[in-house]
Every structure is written in C-alpha cells, then in structure tokens.
A and B are shown apart, each in its own frame.
Chain A
Amino acid sequence: MNSEINNFISKDVDVLGMVVSGSLTNGVEVKLKPERSVSEIKVGRYVSIEAENLKFFGVVTDIELGATDQTLRVNPPEISNPFIANVISGSTAYGIIQVEPMLILSQDDLDSIYGPQPAKTIPPHFSKVSLASDEDVETVFGLESDTNFWLGNPLDMDTAKLCLNIEELIKRSNGVFGKSGTGKTFLTRLLLLGIIQRGVASQLVFDMQSEYGWKGFSEDSKEVKGLKQIFSSKVAIFSLDEESSRRRGVNPDYVVRIGYEDIEPGDISVLKETLNLSEVAADAAYSLERYFGPNNWFKEFLALSGGEEFIDLARNLNINQAALSSLKNRLSRFKRFDFIDESGGNDSVTQILSYLDRGMHVILEFGRYGSDLAAYMLVANLLTRRIYARYAVFAEKALGDPTQQPTPLVITIEEAHKFLSPDIASQTIFGTIAREMRKHNVTLLVVDQRPSGIDDEIMSQLGTKITCLLDNEKDLDSVLTGVSGNRKLRSVLSRLESKQQALIFGHSVPMPMVIKVRDYGTATSYGDFQIEDTKFNFDEDNEDLFGKKL
C-alpha cells in the first residue's frame, strides 16, 4: 500500500496536529489531525511543540470546533450514515485547540543547563504539536529530590510526577483556595507534609477543625491519618480543648492556656466584624488599655459591675456609654472559653517557640472552639503576633551574626479572609506577615474558600497560589488578578474537576500547572511518604546518629 494511505492509516499516538495561527499574547491555534477527536483532549493538558530548533512546552487553554464550510451549521451532513460521519469529522468539521506556549526547552545540550526559559516567541506555522511526554514534564518541573516534593500528576499523565520546589515555596506567603468540598484540606495536608518531609521550615498550623494533627476524614467519611501519625517525632499537637482531644484519642503534647493579660486591644480590633462591634466600640479597647494599663485592662473591664461605675468610666474615657456597654457584652463571651484563664496563661508562646526552635512542627487543635470563629481568630492572631515579635528579634540578631538565622517558619491559617479582609488586613499580624514577605523568616500559608474576601494587596503578595475549583466570578478575579494570561487560566480554573484537581501558579513553579493531586489516605500513599522520608532525609538522620561530617 502506498505511503500516503499508510500515513493516513498509521496513528502516531502522541501527535495532535499542527500550529495554524497565533500570537504571543493570545497563544497559538492548533488544528487537530483528522483522526484526533476534541473529546480526547482536556483543558490543562500539557503539550510540546517542535519548532525548527526549539521545543516549546505549553498548556491547552481552550478547545473549539471548526468547519471549512460555514453552511455546516444550517445544513449538517447526514451523520446518521456512519461513513459520512467518519469522513466529515476531522476534515470538513475539525477540532482546534488553543495552546499557550509557556516555556522553551532548549534542544541544545549546552543551553539546556540553564533549564526551561520563558517563551518570548511563538512556534512558526505548521509546527508539530504533540502530547507532552513524561520526560518533558520532568525537564520542566524537575524530578523528586530533597527540595522537590511530588504533589501530583499532570492531567491524563498518570506516570509523570509533578513536583513542587518546597524550598522556593516557603520563601513567600502562599495561598490554597477552592470552594467547599474541593479538597483544600487534603491539598493543604499534603503541602504541610511536604514541608515536614523536606525539613526546610518549621510550621505552626492553626487547625480550626482539628483535622491535620492526629486524624481527619475524607468526603466519604473515611478516616485518614494526620501528620502526627506519619511523622510522630517531628510533629507536636497543641490543644485548646484537652477534653475534645482526649475524646478523639489524641494525647496532646501541650494544652494552651491564655491569660487575660495576654489579650491586647489589637486582638479585639480584628474581631470587630466577627463580634459585630462598631468602630467606636472596637477602638474603646485602646482607651481602656491606656486607662487600666496594658496587663490589666481586660480583667478590670470585665470585672466592672455596671451602674454608676460604668457611667463614670464612659465619662472619663469620653466614650459613648452604649458603645462601651456593647464592647463589654461581646467580650464577656470570652469568659465561656475554658482556654482563657483569668488567673493567667501558661506562656504558650514560649512553649510553641521551643518546639519550633527544635525544627518541630506545631499543630494547634481548637477542638470544640473550632466552630467559634471569634475564638479561632483571637487565638491565631494573639499567638502569631507574639511569635512574630520574637522572630523579629531573632532576625535582628541574625543581621549581626548570620549563623543565628532562625529556622524559617510557615504559619497556616484557615478562613483567611476573616483575617485578611480589606478592612482589617492592615491591623492584623497576618496582613503584616503577608506584606513583608520573608523579612523575618516567617511566611503564611492561607487556606480559604472565598479569596475575593481577602485584601487585593495581600493577594498580590502571595507567591504561589494553589487553587482548586472556584466558580464564583469575584473569587476567580481575585485569584487571577495580575497573573499573565489570566483569561486563559480562568477557563482552566473554572473547569477543574470538583475533586483532587488544582491549578498551581506563581513563584515556585516555572509555569501554571494543573495537577491531579496525589492520593492520600490509602496504605500505599502512607507507605510512599515514609519511603520518601527515608530517601530524602538520609543525610539528616545520618548526621543525627553520627554527627556532622567534618
């Protein structure tokens, strides 16, 4: 049989089609080969484009149906005849994919040592477009290593591993977003696990629902191991609610107690919206602090009986009596929190820091207080403010003596929009950390389902954003603002599957990547983490056992 028919018959499994048009700003248009169906290609799939002496690496951003004859729409052919349907599809009616060339992989051995470079040009007409191979993915995203953590696989590429450079990731604050039930918690747990495994930072996790420490539950109510069960010697569980911890079979390493003297007016300002306080009422806390003194104001204020005494105080502070009364009512709620102790706290900050100093990871479980946003925000803000202040001191010391550099710290907060909304982002310590980046070696991992509620400036400072499915327009805008090619990423993002898929873009990845998040919760997955841990921490363990190499 002649080569022409052979060419037609032979199906090169990887070749998709050829570049037929495009621009640097809009990406290139690829006409699919007749035997390729649009339905076999998904948005977010990686492709490689072979140009004359360059190889481009790109991502499918859109899929279209084209026709050589515009009357096809009004007079469709007789597709009930399978032969006609077979002929028409791929010829008169064909598929088009839009590809965004993201990187150039050099074919030259000498140049390849610089790694993939951002694509500043586009492939010429008729360049061959193929599905990216596992090797291409490895070249772009790197192999698993002591800094690269395997987070998942590319779409439809189960054998290729997508790795995240954890060392780069923790250099800036990052965000995990996605609407409820899309796997944010699983993804966050994996990231926390990656940071623990690679040993590049200590972590403080404000575990609202108590699902990271000892155990969590999957969507189908299956129990999954928490970080403490996998890395028992590296993770410490702190608890605000010892009773709840013990009920869940967890033996906390430390029970956190907060004294009245620990609470500062700034902690109350953050709770303005949550406690439904007016501006005047929230600001009254500062006047109270001045009046009663920094350590006593909270205790003295709550101890006021009311009546004449209260009226006098309002008059002395020149504050509306109703505002002061509303502040007292709201703050009285804190008396119900068992972890707040009138007689004084137990210096939890020092305890947390002592664990962090040892390179351990602290997970603070909230137990029954996890459902009380005011409690969560109060504690997270209060502890972080103090820890950050200590880190600032460490960082200053390190300026004089670089060997004193503190271990980088990553603080994980959930419901981040409550801490970082435009109204209060400038007042909370989290806003400061996010803006200052890693000035004092402290960064954030914010987890949220409503990124549109977070201040724009903070969003723009997040280094890497890991986003599960989002379908709210405002949330999509918020996550993608300032990202190049955001129109295309938007279409990718809104079409993610509702589970186990995420789009990652930003500082620590060479290009936006869509991943199928790796499994977590099966015996095999736990085994993989332990094998990786042994593999990548061998040197560290060796040093622990036999001392540092001279």
Chain B
Amino acid sequence: MNQDNRIGEVVESSSLQFTVQCYDLYKSPNIGTLVKCGTDPQLFGIVYDVSNKSMDPARRPVPRGRDENKEEGVYLSNPQLNRLLITEVNCILVGYKSTEGILQSPVSLPPRIHSFVIECSEEELREFSSTLDFLPLLLESPILNSIDDVISSFLIKSSKSHDDKSRFLIYAGKELAFNLSGQLIRLNNLLKRISK
C-alpha cells in the first residue's frame, strides 16, 4: 500500500456503489473500512465486500502447489500470478464532501473510473463518524444480506478513533435502536457484535 494509504482505482461504479481494483494482490482494506475517492466532489464509501480472482474471468486459476512445501512457494515459483490475479474491493457510497463539510446522503453521480481510492485516516474517520445519518442508507441497502457485519465492523473501527470509545458505541447503539424499531432480533444481534 502506498504511503498516502492509496489502495487502488475505481474500475466500476454506480450511484450506489463502486468497485476498486487494488494495486497489490491481497493488499486490501478490511470490511467496514471507510475509503474516499474522487476530488470534486470527494466521495466516501464503506468496504462491504473483498474478492480475490483471476483478472480474466475466462481463465480460472488452477492448483499449482503439488510439489511445494509452503503456500508462498507457489507464488515464488510462479511470479506471473501477481499479475494475473487481482484483489477487488466493493464499496457502498455513504456520502460526499461539500463546502458545508461531510454530508452523509446518497450521491448524485458515481465516481469516475480510475479515481484513486484512499483509505481514510483516523482523523477523517472520527470526523465522518461523529454523526451517523448514513445508517439508514446501510440498513436499508438492497446490495447484500450481510450488511449488518459491515455496520458492526465500521462502528467498532470508528469507536477506536473516538476519545470515549464506549460512549460512542452507546450513541451508535441508540441510533441503531432508533432505526431498527420493530426489528428487535436484528438489533439484538447487531448490538451483540458491537459489544464484543
């Protein structure tokens, strides 16, 4: 990963989400990481899916390590793999930066292809997570079923950026409770994940 936390470039995008191809194989941010891309406006996304695959969808990787003692041996013996295999990250768009500051609302235009994608610093994460207006966006997201894992990972990461970790988590928990009224079991499971 580069020194400025740049992880890759946008290779596919829509107004709901974007896909990042990482510069380096296996060097991706975790699920729930806040990333930013673009410049005008700067968009924010949260990683919800990470995949490793062949660059060419028609060419599926085949086993190569029958004679190797260690996994690393496969890559040392086949250095082309670092070029033929890629790591892709899917992010859901959660807001953008305007002249008024960070706005947590749906974006009107998707990021451009080849926009640089950068993992946000702790300071940016603290600033972004100081309000949680984007939670309904995520909770109602039609994109995937495991969004609750993404939310809990994001909140746990964010809590570490705040001075009073437990108070932040209670605040976040109450926001979740507000947004999940009528979904007590889901709320209970989410809170259990956050409290671990």
Contacts and interface: CB of A to CB of B under 8 A. Distances in A.
Contact of B192 (A72, A84, A92): A84
A68 B188 contact: no
B135 interface: no
B58 interface: no
A87 B191 contact: yes
Given A4-B130, A83-B169, A83-B170, A92 B187 contact: yes
B182 A68 contact: yes
Interface stretch (A73-81, A171-179, A277-285, A374-382): A73-81
B190 to A, nearest CB: 10
Max chain A C-beta neighbours (<10 A), residue from B181, B183, B191: B191
A11 B180 CA distance: 24
Interface stretch (B27-35, B62-70, B91-99, B171-179): B171-179
Main secondary structure of the interface of B (DSSP, over half): helix
B76 interface: no
Nearest to B185: A75
A8 B178 CA distance: 14
Interface residues of A, number: 23
Nearest to A83: B195
Contacts of B167: 5, 9
A88 interface: yes
B184 A8 contact: no
Max chain B C-beta neighbours (<10 A), residue from A83, A84, A87, A91: A87
Interface in A257-283: none
Given A1-B163, A77-B191, A83-B194, A69 B174 contact: no
Contacts of A81: 191-192, 195
A77 B184 contact: yes
B14 interface: no
A69 B195 contact: no
A159 to B, nearest CB: 31
B191 A90 contact: no
Given A1-B130, A92-B187, A84 B181 contact: no
A86 interface: yes
Interface in A4-60: 4-5, 8-9, 34
Contacts of B141: none
A83 B185 contact: no
A86 B131 contact: no
B121 to A, nearest CB: 16
Interface in B103-127: 126-127
A91 B178 contact: yes
A2 interface: yes
Contacts of A2: 127, 130-131
A71 interface: yes
Contacts of B44: none
Given A1-B162, A77-B188, A84-B191, A68 B181 contact: yes
Contact of B171 (A5, A75, A77, A84): A5
B168 interface: yes
A83 B191 contact: yes
B131 A4 contact: yes
A1 B163 CA distance: 9
A340 to B, nearest CB: 76
A77 B188 CA distance: 6
A78 B192 contact: yes
Nearest to A69: B184
B174 A84 contact: no
Nearest to B167: A9
B53 to A, nearest CB: 38
A92 B188 CA distance: 11
Contacts of B184: 69, 71-72, 75, 77, 92
Contacts of B132: 4
B195 A90 contact: no
Given A72-B184, A87-B170, 14 more contacts: A1-B130, A1-B162, A1-B163, A5-B168, A8-B171, A8-B174, A69-B181, A69-B184, A75-B184, A75-B185, A77-B187, A84-B188, A84-B195, A91-B174
28 contacts: A1-B126, A4-B131, A4-B132, A5-B130, A5-B162, A5-B167, A8-B171, A9-B164, A9-B167, A68-B181, A71-B185, A75-B184, A77-B184, A77-B187, A77-B191, A78-B192, A81-B191, A83-B170, A83-B194, A84-B188, A86-B173, A87-B170, A87-B177, A90-B174, A91-B173, A91-B174, A91-B178, A92-B177
Interface of A: 1-2, 4-5, 8-9, 34, 68-69, 71-72, 75, 77-78, 81, 83-84, 86-88, 90-92
